[in-house]
Amino acid sequence: MTDSAPRRARVRAPELIGKGGWLNTGDQHYTLADLRGRIVVLDFWIS
């Protein structure tokens, strides 16, 4: 049995760089490498 769906190359996510920095719990700075393998919740809002 062959898979007829085309394969896509994996693309790395860009680093998240926020304007003025990101607000993180505990005042810690994270990179994508620090969060690899973890569940991450992003909350976006506009005031």
As for how many domains the chain has, the answer is: 1
Between CA 23 and CA 27 the distance in angstroms is: 7
Domain assignment of residue 3, yes or no: no
Q: What is the pLDDT along the chain (47 residues), one digit of tens a residue?
A: 566 778 888 888 777 776 666 667 677 777 778 888 999 887 777 77
b/e for 7-18, b at 16 or more Cβ within 10 A? eeeeeeeeeeee
Q: Is residue 21 part of a domain?
A: yes
Read off the amino acid at residue 21.
Answer: G
In a domain, 43, yes or no: yes
- Residue 38: give the domain boundaries: 15-47
Q: How far is CA 15 from CA 5, 6, 7, 21, in A?
A: 30, 27, 25, 12
- Cβ-Cβ contacts under 8 Å for 44 (sequence gap 6 or more): none
Q: Is the residue at 8 inside a domain?
A: no
Residue 19: per-residue pLDDT: 66
